[in-house]
Amino acid sequence: MASAELNKIISFFKVLSDESRLRIVGALSSSERSVDELADLLGLKAPTVSHHLARLKEISLVKMRSSGTTHVYSLNFDELRASSKQFLAMDTMAAIGDEVANDAWERKILKDFFDGEKLKEIPASRKKREVILRFLADRFAFDVKYPEKEVSAIIGRHHADFATLRRELIGARLMERQAGVYWRVASS
């Protein structure tokens, strides 16, 4: 699952995890209302209601229209249905579960192969080695060019065979090099 999609799901549930916002959604489910009407109905101050409505607008669950000088809010039923269908679908939940399992597996690999900051050995397994290489690549900023000596020193803090790991980072396309200068690239 792409991190942008996961962030959208998290935002949706964070916004709806607040009791006042849920009560506003409930109040808007029966009819459109102004901030003052919602404040009176829910026993909240108008600025508080406005804040909650802004959060609901961020995820497109409420719509606003002007009626003279008053803003009137309504529930966006189409967005609520679409978000519920998408975010609560079994495929979505399974993808989140897979991501959690993958993160746990990667943490286990790092724990197994590292003693503190020192890499005990370079894994023979390609999948395990990729986890280690991503960890090492994260030691480098994306917008910086590094001379080979500095790359060797950074990797050398973690393992003595920095030359092999340098080549592996290039082979895994996590870094690129030209004329003794290295830089981090986005993994595909």
Whether 98 is in a domain gets the answer no
Same domain for 16 and 70, yes or no, is: yes
pLDDT score of 62: 95
Domain count, the chain: 2
**What mean pLDDT comes out for the span 103-111?**
83
* Pick from 29-43, 99-113, 119-133, 157-171: least confident: 99-113
- Give the global pTM: 0.50
Same domain for 72 and 22, yes or no, is: yes
Same domain for 74 and 135, yes or no, is: no
Give the model confidence (pLDDT) of 43-74 as tens digits.
999 999 999 999 999 999 999 999 899 999 99
Same domain for 133 and 175, yes or no, is: yes
The identity of residue 149, as a single letter, is K
End-to-end CA distance of the chain: 14
Average pLDDT, the chain: 88
Which range marks the domain in which residue 25 is found? 3-85
Tell me, what DSSP letter sits at residue 157? T
Whether 102 is in a domain gets the answer no
Q: Which of 141, 133, 128, 124 is nearest to 167 (CA)?
A: 133
Whether 139 is in a domain gets the answer yes
Give the model confidence (pLDDT) of 4-43 as tens digits.
677 788 888 899 889 999 999 999 999 999 999 999 999 9
Same domain for 117 and 177, yes or no, is: yes
